[in-house]
Amino acid sequence: MEKVTIATVAERAGVSRQTVSNVINTPEVVRAETRERVRAAITSLGYRVNQAARQMRTGRSRLIAVRIESGSDGINGSVLDRFLHGLTDAATLAGYRVMLYTAADDADEIATYDDLLTAHDLDGFVLTSTHHGDPRTSWLAARDVPFVTFGRPWGAPDTHSWVDVDNDAGTLAATKHLLKAGHRRIGFLGWPRGSGVGDARRTGWAAAMTAAGLDVTGLSVAVIDGVDSGAEAAGRFPDDLTAVVCASDSLALGALRALPGRAVIGFDDTAVAHAIGLTSVSQPLAEAAARCMHLLTELLDGRAPATSTQLLLPPSLVVRQTA
């Protein structure tokens, strides 16, 4: 198992180092015959490019970074994990590898960017959990670091590429499903106003109700996410309510407990929903991850479109026993 470098291959194939490099990076400039000879040498020796050496010369590492959330391992934490799985697969296919990092808050995360960029020459980032006034995107944009966000830039202009799931459409479809089943008094159990995602999910429900000519007064309840808080809040709905659309599976679980017999639909289609037969809105996470990676590689390989791209993916309703 001697060390196999580009020089070893060159010697074996009877050419210079540069020609081997050309075969690898710009095959079209090498004569077909020579190219094959070099390729044969590469495979017979089991040669692989040393990324560190390449990186030092080119300044590119073929590495992208994603944050993995530290705590928050509740019911909903798994959503980001599923996204991460999809991203790792997509990155591998595109010839990139994924590096993980954790960060306590936005400032900490920005400090980590700095470290990853200077120490490891990271090529790009995929950000999750975007929110109002997010300082991360502007920091990266100011330094011309390629990045894509999973989640739209709430409140900010669309200056970068992003992929998001159409939350409105999700609750809209869920509400329509309930309307079709004959429900008229349908409540919405969501989060306090201010989170873009939560507000969008409420909007979809309201739109479906209004379109059906129904009054929504007193049918919307807001509470911090959680099973217990959801159960408590669900008690505040009017007695004649027959169905509830929820902003998360946690809340839906609470609603199920507080309002037995009523129709309930959750959001995110987590393992819990699957396990207990909860109807839920499912986000196409694997596809979202693949799209993010695709947009990012476009940026990285320089064939980026002149303008940034925004993608809104439709979620789907997974109908189970609870609705």
Partner DNA sequence: CGGCATCATTGGATCGATCAAGTTGCGGAT
Partner DNA sequence: ATCCGCAACTTGATCGATCCAATGATGCCG
Cβ pair 241, 220 in contact under 8 A = no
Least distance in angstroms from the C-beta of 228 to DNA:
52
Least distance in angstroms from the C-beta of 132 to a second copy:
26
Which residues are registered as beta bridge partners of 71? Answer: none
- What is the Cα–Cα distance from 63 to 132, expressed in whole angstroms? 28
Least distance in angstroms from the C-beta of 178 to DNA:
58
Candidates 10-18, 32-40, 235-243, 267-275: pick the segment binding a second copy (CB under 8 A). Answer: 267-275
Q: Which two tokens stand for residue 48?
A: 């692989």
Those residues with Cβ within 8 angstroms of residue 229's Cβ, 6 or more apart along the chain or in another chain: 223, 251, 254
Which residue in the set 12, 19, 270, 282 belongs to the binding site for DNA (CB under 7 A)? 19
Residue with tokens 């639909």: 265
Closest CA to 221 of 231, 208, 209, 233: 233
Asked if 18 interacts with DNA (CB under 7 A), we say yes
Cβ pair 227, 209 in contact under 8 A = no
Which residues in 47-86 contact DNA (CB under 7 A)? 47-50, 53-54, 56-58
Least distance in angstroms from the C-beta of 312 to DNA:
37
- What is the Cα–Cα distance from 179 to 266, expressed in whole angstroms? 16
Closest CA to 19 of 44, 43, 41: 41
Which residues in 108-167 contact DNA (CB under 7 A)? none
What stretch of H or E contains 125?
strand 124-127
Which residue in the set 12, 30, 80, 173 belongs to the binding site for DNA (CB under 7 A)? 30
Nearer Cβ to DNA, position 121 or 166? 121
Least distance in angstroms from the C-beta of 114 to DNA:
14
Q: Which positions lie near DNA, rule CB under 7 A?
A: 3, 5-7, 14-22, 24-25, 29-31, 33-35, 47-50, 53-54, 56-58
Q: Which positions lie near a second copy, rule CB under 8 A?
A: 1, 4, 48-53, 55-56, 61, 63, 68-70, 73-75, 77-78, 81-82, 84-85, 88-89, 92, 97-102, 115, 118-121, 143, 227, 250, 253, 270-272, 274-276
